[in-house]
Amino acid sequence: MNLKNIASNETNEINDTKEAEKSISIKNSKSLNKRLNYYYKNPPLIGLQNIGEISYMNATLQCFSNIEKLTCYFKFDSYIKEIIKNKPNGLTASYKLIIDKLWPSNTKNNNKYYSPFEFNKKLASLSPLFQVGQPNDAKDLINFIIYTLYEELNIRKDNNNNDHYIDQTNEQLVFRTFIEKYNKNNSIISDLFYGINKFVVKCSKCKISKYSFTENFFFIFPLEEIRKYKLKELQVNNNDYIMNEKEKNFKIHLLNKNIVDIKDCLDYEQKIELFTGDEAMYCNYCNELSDATFQVFSHSLPQILIFIFNRGKGPLNKIKVKFNELLDLNNYSQNGGIYELISVVTYLGENQFNGHFIASCKSPIDNQWYRYNDVIITKITDINKDILDFGYPYVLFYKRK
């Protein structure tokens, strides 16, 4: 398909209904919810054909398509047409085509699956990472989709890079400067997936801390490192760890059985690291190399929270992750909140290069869970058995309640 014609072709499809002609703002979540539920009485449940070892792509796209606000934006927002018109060869046009096929305007469409050949072709043209024979998976695709759509949909792009020196010991000033610069660069992607991390480096000698902030679109957790870290933490005398002996021994038992809790991953993300010896840092206030601590804090969390589990080869791939439908993060970040599980990418295979990806998604239409295995879509009735305790999760998608 000629991607230059995607905008006009898909615009004609949208204009088939009067409802789709209206502009819907991504900021008005209530309107979006009513709109989607009004237009689709039942979820279309369109599968994606596996065109050759790309089950990771099919599973990932199904997860993204069940993010309600993102799908509404691509299906109904009128200014999407202008963006695609100005960038006919970008990923935005190809992604919109995928969404229009998975959520057809003609709800009586008999097509039960669609070939993502053009999308796969576009990926290969944009990045050598997705060319034939290259080792990649859902982690790489999620990163590429979010980053590329963010760049292409950034309608308030600021090209002014005149950075000036600021006192990094002044946390509020550093944060305010970061926010002022970022607010000039925004898109639907940052609205949904954007979070903020705070980095703190503290000199062990003068005790002065320096701060920096950066955007964060998802979390990648190295499961084996986390398992070892939690075991060590539990086995040493740690007064900060409030747990009785019975609970502690049970936790050690689970870790030794290769079972890691999602909260273990979050704890690991904010662990304190010590830089000493050859890794000592230069302190501008001490005017010399000195030991320092480094810690990452989640300053604010996004609307859509993505956890990616970095799994290695062989037995490292067999680490189980305990997670729930609801995740309480009120004590984890300044904006905290309760998150609900909306999608899971599960990996079935012996190692990271020889396996199969499937997606389990909660439809925003009927709140029913469905399993997407390429072109085969089945209803999930037992959440505990078929999602929470099924296989080895590779990616979790949570949405702020």
Residue 29 lies inside a defined structural domain of this protein = yes
Asked if 271 and 307 touch (Cβ cutoff 8 Å), the reply is no
Among 98-107, 157-166, 191-200, 260-269, whose mean pLDDT is lowest? 157-166
Give the Cα-Cα-Cα angle 389, 192, 267 (nearest 5 degrees). 50
In whole angstroms, what is the distance from residue 130 CA to residue 146 CA? 15
Helix 91-102 vs helix 55-65: angle between axes, to the nearest 10 degrees?
80
What is the chain's mean pLDDT, rounded?
83
Domain annotation covers residue 375? no
Residue type, 397: F
Residue 291 lies in a domain: no
Q: Is the pLDDT of residue 301 over 70?
A: yes
Mean pLDDT within 261-269: 93
Residue 294 phi, psi (nearest 5): -130, 135
Cα separation, 130 vs 138, whole angstroms: 11
CATH number, position 55: 3.90.70.10
Structure tokens at 321: 């992750």
Q: What tokens appear for 327 in the block? A: 């995740």
Q: What is the DSSP letter of 280?
A: P
> pLDDT tier at 163 (50, 70, 90 boundaries)?
low
Q: What percent of the chain has pLDDT over 90?
A: 55
| 147 in a structural domain | yes
Q: How many other β-carbons are positioned within 10 Å of the β-carbon of residue 70?
A: 23
Taking only the tens place, the pLDDT of each residue in 231-247 is 988 877 555 556 678 88
311 pLDDT tier (thresholds 50, 70, 90)? confident
- Residue 1, pLDDT score: 35
- Residue 227 pLDDT exceeds 80: yes
**pLDDT at 30 > cutoff 60:** no
Paired tokens of 100: 């229009």
Instruction: Take residue 322 and report the two structure tokens written for it.
Output: 């305990």
Q: Could you tell me which of 328, 389, 393, 397 has the C-alpha nearest to residue 364?
A: 397
Q: Is residue 10 predicted with pLDDT exceeding 60? A: no
Residue 326 confidence (pLDDT): 97
Give me the pLDDT at residue 324, please.
Answer: 95
What is the per-residue pLDDT for 237? 59
Residues in the chain: 401
CB 216 within 8 A of CB 195: yes
- Identify which has the larger pLDDT, 258 or 314: 258
pLDDT at residue number 158 = 58
Residue 24 scores a pLDDT above 70: no
Cβ pair 267, 329 in contact under 8 A: no
As given in the structure block, the two tokens for residue 326 are: 């609801």
User: 3-state SS string over 301-322?
Assistant: CCCEEEEEEECCCHHHHHCEEE
Per the structure, the count of domains in the chain is 1
pLDDT of residue 246: 83
Q: For residues 294-303, give the mean pLDDT.
A: 94
pLDDT at residue 44 is higher than 70: yes
b/e map 359-394, b = 16+ CB within 10 Å: bbbbbbbeeebbbbbbeebeebeeeeebbbebebbb
Measured CA to CA, the distance from residue 308 to residue 222 in angstroms comes to 9
Domain assignment present for residue 275? The answer is no
Band (pLDDT 50/70/90 cuts) for residue 88 is confident
Q: 3 near 125, Cβ under 8 Å?
A: no
pLDDT, residue 16, reads 31
Contact 9, 85 (CB under 8 A): no
pTM of the model: 0.86
User: φ, ψ for residue 347 (rounded to 5)?
Assistant: -105, 125
Q: Which of 24-28, 41-45, 138-142, 163-167 has the lowest mean pLDDT?
A: 24-28
Whether 259 is in a domain gets the answer no
- Residue among 115, 102, 116, 99 at smallest CA distance from 45: 102
Kindly state the greatest CA–CA separation across the chain.
72
For residue 15, give its domain range. Answer: 3-152
Closest to 359 in 3D by CA, of 400, 394, 308, 311: 394
Predicted pLDDT at 238: 55
Report pLDDT for 267. 92
Compute the radius of gyration of the chain from its Cα atoms.
23
The 10s digit of each residue's pLDDT in 46-81 is: 999 998 777 889 999 999 999 999 999 998 887 888
Q: Residue 13: pLDDT band by 50, 70, 90 thresholds?
A: very low
Structure tokens at 388: 């929470």
Residue 289 pLDDT exceeds 80? yes
- The count of other CB atoms within 10 Å of the CB of residue 164 is 5
Token digits for 22? 């209206």
With contact defined as beta carbons under 8 Å apart, do 306 and 218 qualify?
yes
| Tokens found for residue 181 | 């610069």
Residue 20 in any domain: the answer is yes
Q: Is 93 inside any structural domain?
A: yes
pLDDT value of position 76: 85
- What number is the average pLDDT over the span 289-308? 95
For 120, 172, 207, 282, 292, the CA distances from 286, given in Å and listed in that order, are 54, 23, 10, 8, 12
pLDDT in tens, 96-133: 999 999 999 876 666 789 999 999 999 999 998 888 76
Per-residue pLDDT band at 91 (split at 50, 70, 90):
very high
pLDDT band (50, 70, 90) for residue 306: very high
**pLDDT of amino acid 2:** 36
Q: One-letter amino acid identity for 120? A: N
Beta strands in 280-389 (DSSP E): 281-283, 288-290, 292-300, 304-310, 320-322, 326-328, 338-351, 354-362, 369-373, 376-379
Q: Model confidence at 370, in pLDDT bands (50, 70, 90)?
A: very high
